[in-house]
Amino acid sequence: AQSVTQPDIHITVSEGASLELRCNYSYGATPYLFWYVQSPGQGLQLLLKYFSGDTLVQGIKGFEAEFKRSQSSFNLRKPSVHWSDAAEYFCAVGPSGSARQLTFGSGTQLTVLP
Amino acid sequence: EAGVAQSPRYKIIEKRQSVAFWCNPISGHATLYWYQQILGQGPKLLIQFQNNGVVDDSQLPKDRFSAERLKGVDSTLKIQPAKLEDSAVYLCASRRGPGTLSLGGRNEQFFGPGTRLTVL
């Protein structure tokens, strides 16, 4: 069965600092990987996704993520965080060849200090 | 393009009462999902529809939860009777689907704002 682990429940960074949110997955084959962001009272918005090819994926709002098969990781990064990035971030995995079902991690809450 | 619509946004009920949530997916999206998101956890899939048929309801507590998508467009999720542990945000998502993923994002899931249910 597929699973996703986000080891950091809560991260606090200062505005302008760099950010890295960790995601580790467990899946028997090549997974499809996603990062979503959820602001209070809002639904989930897709930041980026990895299907195949280049392991460094660019997303919206200046985010990027790198797929590392050897480490079963798909960490999310941003070089300079903005106050508006404060939200909850979810990593998700879908079975290769289909987005029909996603398994989500438990999320990382990001606080941005002025 | 309008997004996924859900109503109500908030609902407070007492245990053993019934409640229903409504979802209208993005126009033309064949696949519809209901997720349950308990506070502090990621969303968990409850049921997946393909048009008006159920694809997967293996994680739906069928003794109390039911869902339908009669005309293959909007959908209703019902809880009867509710328990305290049903307190959560219920998210609806839709996908153009079916078929495999493409880099063009044809099969991206789009989420609604959710319904926050509190069971007292």
A46 to chain B: which residues are within 8 Å by CB?
Answer: 108-110
B93 to chain A: which residues are within 8 Å by CB?
Answer: 43-44
The amino acid occupying position A54 is D
The amino acid occupying position A64 is E
Distance CA A54, CA A71 (A): 16
Identity of the residue in B9, B44, B109 whose CB atom sits nearest the CB atom of A99: B109
| Cis, bond preceding A95 (omega within 30 deg of 0) | no
Residue A68 burial (10 A CB sphere; 0-12, 13-18, 19+): exposed
The per-residue b/e assignment along B75-111, b for 16 or more CB within 10 angstroms, e otherwise, is: bebebeebeeebbbbbbbbbbbbeeebeeeeebbbbb
The amino acid occupying position B119 is V
Question: Residues A2-19: pLDDT tens digits?
Answer: 889 999 999 999 999 999
Q: Best of A2, A21, A44 to disrupt the B interface by mutation (most B CBs within 10 Å)?
A: A44
pLDDT at A2: 81
Distance CA B88, CA B40 (A): 10
Q: Best of B101, B102, B108 to disrupt the A interface by mutation (most A CBs within 10 Å)?
A: B101
Measure A41 CA to nearest chain B CA, in Å: 7
pLDDT at B78: 98
Is the sign of the CA dihedral B71, B72, B74, B80 positive or negative?
positive
Per-residue pLDDT of chain B (120 residues; tens, 9 = 90+): 689 999 999 999 999 999 999 999 999 898 999 999 999 899 999 999 988 899 889 889 999 999 999 888 999 999 999 999 999 999 999 988 765 444 445 567 889 999 999 999
The amino acid occupying position B92 is C
The secondary structure of chain B, three-state, reads: CCCCEEECCEEEECCCCCEEEEEECCCCCCEEEEEEECCCCCCEEEEEEECCEEEECCCCCCCCEEEECCCCCCEEEEECCCCHHHCEEEEEEEECCCCCCCCCCCCCCEECCCEEEEEC
Identity of the residue in B56, B100, B113 whose CB atom sits nearest the CB atom of A42: B113
- The reply to whether residue A92 touches residue B42, judged by beta carbons under 8 angstroms, is yes
| pLDDT less than 70: residues of chain A | 95-100
Helix (H, G, I), strand (E, B) or coil at A62: helix
Distance CA A84, CA A86 (A): 5
Asked whether A24 and A73 are in contact (CB, 8 A), the reply is yes
Residue of A nearest to B105 (CA): A49
| Cis, bond preceding B98 (omega within 30 deg of 0) | yes
CA distances from A84 to A6, A8, A17, A66, B26 (A): 21, 20, 13, 23, 27
Place of tokens 């063009």: B104
